[in-house]
Amino acid sequence: MLRAHTVEDVRRAEQAAMARLPDGALMQRAAAGLAAAVVDLLGGAYGRRVLLLVGPGDNGGDALWAGARLAARGASVEALLLAERTHADGLAALRRAGGRAARDLADLHPSPDVVLDGILGIGGRPGLRDDAARAVERLAGVPVVAVDVPSGLGVDTGEVDGPHVRADLTVTFGTHKVAHLVDPSATACGALHLVDLGLDLGPAAVEALQPADVRDLLPRPGPDAQKYSRGVVGVRAGSATYPGAALLAVAGANTGLVGMVRYVGASSVADRVRVAHPEVVGDGRVQAWVVGPGGGDDAAGMLAEALADDVPVVVDADALRHVDAPLPGAVLTPHAGELAAMTDAERADVEARPLAHVREAARRWGCVVLLKGHHTLVADPDGRVRATTTGVPWLATAGAGDVLAGLVGALLAAGLTPYDAASVGSWLHGAAATEAAAGGPLTASRVAVQIPQVVRDTLAELG
What string of H, E and C letters represents the secondary structure of 83-99? CCCCCHHHHHHHHHCCC
- Nearest-CA neighbor of 103 among 85, 121, 116, 88? 85
Domain co-membership, 344 together with 423: yes
Domain co-membership, 139 together with 282: no
Domain boundary pick from 208, 227, 261: 208
Start-to-end C-alpha separation, the chain? 17
pTM of the predicted structure, to 2 decimals: 0.95
Instruction: Using DSSP, state whether 218 is helix, strand or coil.
Output: coil
Question: Over 80: is that where the pLDDT of 85 sits?
Answer: yes
- Total domain count for the chain? 2
pLDDT at position 123: 85
Domain co-membership, 299 together with 375: yes
Report the percent of the chain where pLDDT is more than 90.
98
Query: Residue 150 belongs to what domain range?
Result: 2-208
Domain containing residue 142: CATH number = 3.40.50.10260
Question: Over 60: is that where the pLDDT of 425 sits?
Answer: yes
Q: What's the chain's average pLDDT?
A: 96
Domain boundary pick from 186, 208, 230: 208
pLDDT at position 462: 54
What does residue 450 show for φ and ψ, rounded to 5 degrees?
Answer: -80, -15
Domain co-membership, 49 together with 185: yes
Domain co-membership, 396 together with 323: yes
Q: What is the pLDDT of residues 388-398, one digit of tens each?
A: 999 999 999 99
Domain containing residue 266: CATH number = 3.40.1190.20
Domain co-membership, 159 together with 224: no
Average pLDDT in the 316-330 region?
A: 97
Question: Over 60: is that where the pLDDT of 463 sits?
Answer: no
pLDDT at position 124: 81
Residue 285: count of CB within 10 angstroms of its CB: 11
Average pLDDT in the 308-336 region?
A: 97
Contact yes or no for 380/424 (Cβ under 8 A): no
Domain co-membership, 187 together with 227: no
Average pLDDT in the 227-248 region?
A: 96
Cα-to-chain-centroid distance, residue 51: 30
Distance CA 30, CA 52 (A): 15
Average pLDDT in the 268-284 region?
A: 96
Domain co-membership, 200 together with 216: no
* H-state helical runs in 21-117: 25-42, 58-72, 88-96
Domain co-membership, 22 together with 166: yes
Domain boundary pick from 154, 188, 208: 208
Cα-to-chain-centroid distance, residue 9: 20
Distance CA 288, CA 401 (A): 18
Domain co-membership, 118 together with 183: yes
Instruction: Identify which has the larger pLDDT, 439 or 461.
Output: 439
Vertex 134, ends 133 and 138: CA angle to 5°?
A: 120
Distance CA 237, CA 404 (A): 13
Contact yes or no for 69/28 (Cβ under 8 A): no
Average pLDDT in the 38-60 region?
A: 97
Residues 6+ apart with CB under 8 A from 191: 168, 169, 170
Contacts of the segment 22-27: beta carbons below 8 A, 24+ positions apart: 24/89, 26/173, 26/197, 27/58, 27/61, 27/62, 27/65, 27/90
Distance CA 193, CA 305 (A): 48
Domain co-membership, 235 together with 364: yes
Domain co-membership, 329 together with 225: yes
